[in-house]
Amino acid sequence: MAVITPLLKGLAFTLKRFFSKPITYQYPEQKREPSERWRGLHRLKTENGQLKCVACGLCEAVCPAKVITVEAKETPDGRRFPNRFVVEVTRCIFCGYCQEACPKDAIELTRNYEFCGYTREEFHMTRDVLARN
């Protein structure tokens, strides 16, 4: 008897919860909104159709996982832009240091937390892919 009473007590609590609203999300039909500060997939921001990035290489220097590669180039009118900008997303640890280090507010971690692909190469995201993210 001493063992059965707590069992019934627990069962009563479970039954009570049976009628309350579920706390779970029916993913993927019902999606969870991540916070405003969520650190998800990277994006290179654009301004008037041009990348804000000036390829200074600060994000490359600060990145703890060393997943960012930047190669600078200059336009004929002397504006610097990233000729090559690769983020190896599979190795990224999503610490957000690149976003913090950027003086031009050109790279950001978006709220996109669901990204997938079939090959490794798809995650070596290049400049144009990152701008579209």
Partner 1 sequence: MIPRPDPTLETLVLNMGPQHPSTHGVLRVVLKLDGEYVLEAHPVIGYGHRMHEKMGEVRNVSGFYANVGRMDYAGALSFGHGHVLAVERMLGIEVPPRAEYIRVITTELNRIASHLLWFGAFLLDLGAFTPILYSFDDREYILDLLEHVTGARLTFSYFRVGGVNRDLDERFIQGTRVFIRRMRSRFEVYHKLVTGNVIFRKRVEGVGVISPDMIRKYGATGPVARGSGIPYDIRRVEPYSVYSEFDFDIPTFPEGDCFARYRVRLAEMEQSLRIVEQALDRLPDGPVMVEKVPKKLKLGPGEVYQAVEAARGELGYYLVGDGTDVPYRLKIRPPSYSNLSLLNELAEGVLLADLVAIMGSLDLVIPEIDR
Which residues of the shown chain bind partner 1 in the complex (CB under 8 A)? 2-3, 5-7, 9-10, 13-14, 23, 34-39, 62, 64-65, 93-97, 100, 109
Q: How far is the CB of 76 from partner 1 (least distance, A)?
A: 33
65 or 84: CB nearest partner 1: 65
Q: Which residues does 51 contact at the CB level (< 8 Å), separation at least 6?
A: 44, 45, 81, 82, 106, 127, 131
The Cα–Cα gap between 80 and 109 comes to 22
Q: Smallest gap, in angstroms, from Cβ of residue 80 to partner 1?
A: 21
State which residue, 36 or 77, has the beta carbon closest to partner 1.
36
Classify residue 32 as exposed, middle or buried by CB count within 10 Å of its CB (0-12, 13-18, 19+). Answer: exposed
Closer residue to partner 1, CB minimum distance, 67 or 70: 67
Placement of tokens 């003086």 in the chain: 103
Q: How far is the CB of 33 from partner 1 (least distance, A)?
A: 10
